[in-house]
Each structure stands twice: as structure tokens, then as C-alpha cells.
Structure 1
């Protein structure tokens, strides 16, 4: 019998019981005391203890290095000096990349950021970081809007309005800071619809295909406390803000140019309706944003910015070529969850009897195609409103290196970056009157002219990266620690003067 060994075991057992006896026991709490206030206070104390432990570990060098940012943070670049005493508004446009359109075969190297539970929170953190007053979002899934976005926006003090074509799974959202704005009216635009134009108006040529694309606008009335803070706002009713996502097809230039007309025409109708409702002579500040799926040298962009429009050179060649494309009878899709895959199949099916290159060096249009292009010109030139891209007006002053692209009207090189393609597709337009006489075909408005003529002082623009900064391929977005969508958000800070 090993009495020494037994004594040792007994001794250790007594020691352990003695230590446990000295430990404070957790007292049970009367359930009546478990009020919401008590629980919140206990959580607060627990967080304080955690923070104290973190600081102690940090002082001892025991903490691991901080995790790399989950998205790249870009600065707002100064364009003009702010004017004292006038309010600033930050307007963002952002295509979020609809989750229903994500396919691994389209994004084979992008990794786990494609998962919604990861990407959604990075997108939300990005929006919080840039802290815009108005956010115009495209490709927002209806399911995610109802289950995630609407509640998050509400918690952050924002109101939001969602609109989609009735068979699509995703749509557009206008988000606004409730301390500054109240949404009074909305106007919804189905871009395939026909217009009830008067006999005096130049008729818009008909659509060639049903695209199911939409746009919509909101009238954001200034909140009384916001007006009290900035009395200059008493001379204005508020802001008309619009957003859209135009037809994406490579040969869709004709449809997009037609849809651009629809947006401006419907804007005029909406403003006219508001003038009647409000029955005053006060002005509106008017902006239209979105993913226009058009580069600055394309006919859709030029049709609304270079008044009077005359399609020529590259833009006419591409526009004419788009009219030569014959869509499959199945091209108009209702089941958008299969859209990305089906569109590739349909393109393969259509390719046999259609041109291969949407941007050929030379294209000779038929007489019928000439008439359609002339009809688009006449319709656009009959609209007494034009659009000014805020990045076109000011980005050269803030980031010259990224605004030297020939034919880009001083726009940055890209806002959409995927492995196979990149280009500038997203814009924030200021909508202003046009007398149908002044020639803006080659002119680019300056920030000084915006302030003096249209009472909008362009203060800052969100920086966009250069192609060289995107790194070696594969670098298509979205990617963890880079950007959470295949589009980059754009943002302008303007003063309403």
C-alpha cells in the first residue's frame, strides 16, 4: 500500500476544494429584476470590461495586428471651395450587384465575398463610411431589400423607396436622410412603354424589344428644421432625385438612347405635376443618377449632354450597328434568376445571323436605320432639358491623371471593373433647362458655371482608382479587401446656393 501516494492525492483534492470554496458563486437573480434597462446596463458593463482587457493586452503587445480593411476606402477630392452659410448635400450612386445575378462561372476567382452574408455587411459598412445624404442604388434584390436593407436604413435614420419591374427580382432604391428630407411624391417609369406625346412634339421612335428596365424619381421636400438652419433653402421646394438601370445588352445602344429620352421626358412630366400641386414659383434642384450602361462616347450619354445632338463618327457607327441586331423572340426574359446564364445561351443562338462586334470601325446603315437614328436625334433635340455630368464638370480639377481619356469628356476611366471588361457606366447628372438654341455639342460646363447659373456649387467628388491601381489579373470585382460590387460607388458633394 502506497500511503504516501494516497496522501498526495488527498492533499491535492483538499487544495482544489479549498480553492473552489473561495470562488464567488454566481447568485441567481430575481426574474422581476430582469428588466430591459437592467439587461442593457449589464451589457454596457460587460463591454467596458472587454475594452479594459483589450487596452491592457494592447499595452503589453499581446494583441494580433489589426485585420486588413474589408474594403478600400477612397477620399473625397476637393473641386471647389465651399461657400459659407450654404448647406452641403452628398449624393451617391451605386450598383450593388444583385445577388440573384451572381454565378460562380461568371465570377470564378472572386472567392467568399460572393456570399451574401459577407458581402451585405461590407456594402453596409461602405455606405456608413461615405455617409451620403441621398443614396441611389441599383440592382437591389427585392428579398434583400425587405429582409435587410430597409431595416438597416431605418436604423441609421434614413427613409427609402424601392421600385422594380413587376417580374424582376431586383430593382432600384432611393435612400434619403430623414433629418433633411421628407419624401412627398414619387414617379415610376417603365422604359418600354409608349408616350402620350402631343402633335407638336417630335415623336420618339418605337422600342425594338421589351427590356423590362425601369427608372423612378422622388420629390424630397426640405425638412422645416433644415430650412431653419439654412434660410437660403426657403427659395426652393426641395430636390427631385431620379435613378435608373438601363438595358445592358452589348448591342443595346439604340434601346439605351431611346430610354435616355424617356427619362428626361418623364422628368419634365413629373416636374410639371409638382409645379401644379405646389402652386408656387419656387425652384427645384434636379439630379438623375444610375447605371446607364453607356460610356461617355456612346450615343445615349451624348444624346442628353451634348445639345443639340448630332450622331456622328464612332457614336453613329455603334448606334447604327445596334439597329442591325435581331433579337431572339425569347430575349425578353421574365425569370431573371436565370438571366445571366440564359443571356449567354441566347447570345450564342443569335450570333449566327448577327454581327459579332458591337463597336465596329465601319458600318453602313440602311435607309430605315438612318431614319430611326434621325428620329432619335429630333426627339432628343426637341426636349428643352439637358444633363450635366458632375464628374465631367469637375473631376479634371481633382484628379487630372484619371480624366485624360480621349472622348471621355473628362470622365474617369471606369466605374465598372470585371475580368473581361471595364468602363465608365455610372453617372450623377444635374438636370437643367435648355433653350434649344445654345450650343453645348462640344462644351463642358465648369464648376463656376454650375454655381453661377444653376445654384449648385460642386465641392467634392469621390475618387475613382486608375486602371493601374487595380493590379494584375485576375482583378475583376467584387473582391474581399477591395470592392464589394463589380461597380464602384460614385459620390458628389454639392452645396445648394
Structure 2
């Protein structure tokens, strides 16, 4: 049976909303924009192997069964915005998710690297949102992170010849002395979405109607050209229709509402390897570099949701939420940097045995300073809060030990049990640094969005504007189910993926 025709959602757990306590020092209520956003790693079909997930039965690993449970959850909650990861274009998206999302009044953008069998998707309720712009970032395509050798030479004012390098390692050091990029082919995408108000709705409806008139006019003109080509007389009705349609289509379009309610939504799927802390840091910096450059004059609220494959105790998470790193975190990043370089240059043959450290000629203190500088760049770009970092709203830790954070004890429950998925958001306009250390280093053209002030598109930057918003915070989050419903592991009879979906309602208060 063709599962694209099977529209009955299978059994799934109907999780409840939990109210997030409001801050005691919050300001008086002002007009606000409320919306819900979901992130969900739906598990690509190629990864649903029983040998990898022995706690799940073959039936629960079946792609058709899992997809129906997942779309059942989406249909039940109907979030305004959806971020999906591990979406296979040929096996999942085109035959299944695309027609069902369309039926539920969603529009979408899905991107998948050419050499990967799954990618990321952002979908939005077309009745509430309009897409203004969309970009994708494939992690192995760009090289924008300064390597440690170049950084150290710049920091100390030395030349490469001044370092105590074994002559046998000259070729190796030359290779390492370059910009670094991720060698992993995972992907991130971001969309600029505009919330449709009453005036905007009228504007978009007029635009759609005008486009339809233009289409009709082109059809009439084709008929007239065909008649002329065949030597037939012009049909007076066609001529009259063409003139009437031209007048209607050429009428002036009204300006959109000046209340500019737009947001930037990012989703990503970072490298899964447990020890790849350094490469995940590079991947996030690459994404934020694109977003910071885009947003440097607009200062729109940013929501960053996805599968980060990083635990709340990892350096990447601490950098995202602006927490200080301790000596252990720096050591973790240093070891991971060595692993990253070994993997990145594993195909090179330098003709000599490798030293214990590929950076033995750089003092250890300087190496630690380098990774700390990368984290500082991350913190200096956008300061995020985590929507699910809420005390007292989650099941207790499985080992009973207290934690230094208030994230859920797990968002995946299979062979590995832990928290890897997050919904990060910018709490206020000050969280977005207009001249961030990342935004200044990415070349690219300025974008024009609806009614923003503009200059020459190629030479003049967009004029900075006062943010239309002053605060963003979560008001509700979807509960994390108890372990008893997840044992012995997911996917099971009630959950369609090896990850749980996260869902929050955000409230953005107007300035």
C-alpha cells in the first residue's frame, strides 16, 4: 500500500503544556506577538537500523509507522513554525511530509546536501507568516574560522620562521596554517519570517491578485500573438480583455503595515560525534556569522532551534547561553581541536611520523587562549537563552544527582540518553550585537526587506533602525514525558523518532 495515501495518524503521546513562570520584575504588559515553534529530529530512514537501536522493535523502526506518528504530533499541536532535522528528500519529504504539511496550511523550505541523505526543513503556517528570505549553510563548503597558527602569529607579531618547528614538519605546519572549516556535510538553514497583520494581509492578498491578473494578461497576449501569426483577425473581446487587465495589473500597490513584526528562525543538525566539541563550535560560528551579517542593521529577534548534539555541560552550550568556561572546558576543546585536525587532514601524507601534538611549537597557554578567543567570538555575536532551561518543570535527573542547569534530563532516549535538542532565543535587542566580531568578517550583499530604509544595494549599508520589540520570553513549553513512557527506548509504539520534539510558545513584546 502506498503510504502517501495513508492519512490516519498512529498512536502518539499527547503531551501537556506547562506554564513558564513570569519574571517578577517584568514590565507592564504591552502589545505582544505570540507564536509557537517546534523543533523535531525525525530520524532519517537510513538511520533506523535495528543494530543501532536494539531497544526498538523492527515494527517501530518502520519508516511508514514512524512518519504517521510524527505527523500526528504535528497535526495535534499545529505549531506556527516547525524546524525539522534529518528529513530525507526522496524517502520522507517529497512523498510524505510535503503533501501533508501543505494540507495543514504550511509552507516550507527543505535543503539537503548533495552527498547527504537527509537535511533540514523550516515550515510555517501560511495564514500567519510570510517568507521574506531564506538561506542554507552547508558546513563543508565555507572556510571562515582562523586557524591557530595564523592566530598565534598575529597575536605575537612573529613570522612562521620564528617558531621552533622541526624542519621535517614544515609541510605539516604549512597545511595547518590556513583558515579552518568543518569537514562534515551537515546543514543549517535560516528563514526570515514576517508575521501577517490585518494591513499586511490585505497587501499580500492584493499582491496575489495582481500576480493572477498578470498571468491572465500574458495568456490573452499569447492568444492574440497566435491569431496574428495565423493571419486571423484580432478578436475584439481579447483586445478589450487585454486592455482591462493591463489597467488593473498596473494599478499602484499599497504600502505594507509600518508595524514590522519579523523574526529570524534558524535550524541546524550539528556533527554527532561525541568528541567533536571543536568542530561543532566551528559549525555554529559559521551559521551565526551568516545570520549576524544579515541582521546587523535590522536587529530582528532570533530563534535558533535544532539538534546540536551537545549536552548542557559541553563548552558549546555554555558559549551559546553566555556562561563562563572553566579550565576543564578549555582542555576539552583543546583535545577536540587535535582530533578535528587529525580528521581534517587524515587524507594528507606528510612523510614523517606525527608528533604527540600537531601544535607542539605553540605554548599550551596560547592554545588555551585561542579556544577561549573562539568562545568569546561566539558570545559576542548573539547572546541566547534556552526556552527549556526552566527549574521545576522537568522530570528529575535519571541518576538522581543535582545538575548545574535546568534543562530536561533527556531529549533523546535510546542507546544514548541525554539532552541534545534546544530552542534558543534572544531575550531582548541588546542580545544582538550590531557590530559583532562575527558579522564584520563575512562578505556579502545587504538585503532589502519590505519597507526598510535603503540606499544603493551594492555600495551603501542599510540604515540602522530602532528595534520594534523590547523583550522575548517563553510563556509555555511542552512537557517532557516520564521515563516510563519511553522505556526501553524510542522510537516505540508511542513515539516516532529517537528524539523528542520540543515545543514552546514565545511572546515578543513591542517596544
Q: CA deviation at 1:373?
A: 4.4
Q: CA deviation at 1:375?
A: 2.4
Q: Residue 396 in 1 paired to residue 409 in 2?
A: no
Q: CA deviation at 1:241?
A: 0.3
Q: Structure 1 484/369 Cα, relative in aligned 2: closer, same or farther at 3 Å?
A: farther
Q: Give TM-score scaled by structure 2 length.
A: 0.63
The separation in 2 between residues aligned to 1:196 and 1:413, in whole angstroms, is 32
Within 5 Å, give how 1:6-405 maps onto structure 2.
Answer: 70-80=11-21, 86-111=32-57, 112-143=59-90, 144-192=92-140, 193-195=142-144, 206-207=179-180, 210-225=183-198, 235-272=259-296, 275=297, 284-306=300-322, 309=324, 311-325=325-339, 327=342, 367=362, 371-382=366-377, 383-392=380-389, 395-396=390-391, 398-399=393-394, 401=396
Q: Residue 490 in 1 paired to residue 431 in 2?
A: no
The separation in 2 between residues aligned to 1:460 and 1:140, in whole angstroms, is 27
SS at 2:424 equivalent: strand
Q: Is the 8 A contact 1:205 1:372 kept in 2?
A: no
SS at 2:290 equivalent: helix
Q: Structure 1 405/305 Cα, relative in aligned 2: closer, same or farther at 3 Å?
A: farther
CA RMSD of aligned residues (A): 3.9
The separation in 1 between residues aligned to 2:490 and 2:421, in whole angstroms, is 15
SS at 1:455 equivalent: strand
Q: Residue 463 in 1 paired to residue 460 in 2?
A: no
Q: Residue 433 in 1 paired to residue 432 in 2?
A: yes
The separation in 2 between residues aligned to 1:369 and 1:485, in whole angstroms, is 43
Count of equivalent residues: 367
Q: Give TM-score scaled by structure 1 length.
A: 0.65
Q: Could you say which residue in structure 1 is the equivalent of 2:249? A: none
CA distances 1:199-241 after superposition (whole Å, capped 9, x unpaired): 99x9998437511122111001122438689xxx954341110
Structure 1 unaligned runs (5+)? 1-67, 276-280, 333-352, 356-362, 438-452
Q: CA deviation at 1:466?
A: 4.5
SS at 1:398 equivalent: coil
| Greater per-residue helix proportion | 1
Q: CA deviation at 1:261?
A: 1.6
Q: Is the 8 A contact 1:92 1:490 kept in 2?
A: yes
The separation in 2 between residues aligned to 1:148 and 1:331, in whole angstroms, is 39
Q: Could you say which residue in structure 2 is the equivalent of 1:13? A: none
Q: Select the structure of larger CA radius of gyration.
A: 1
Structure 2 unaligned runs (5+)? 1-8, 23-27, 156-176, 203-256, 348-353, 437-468
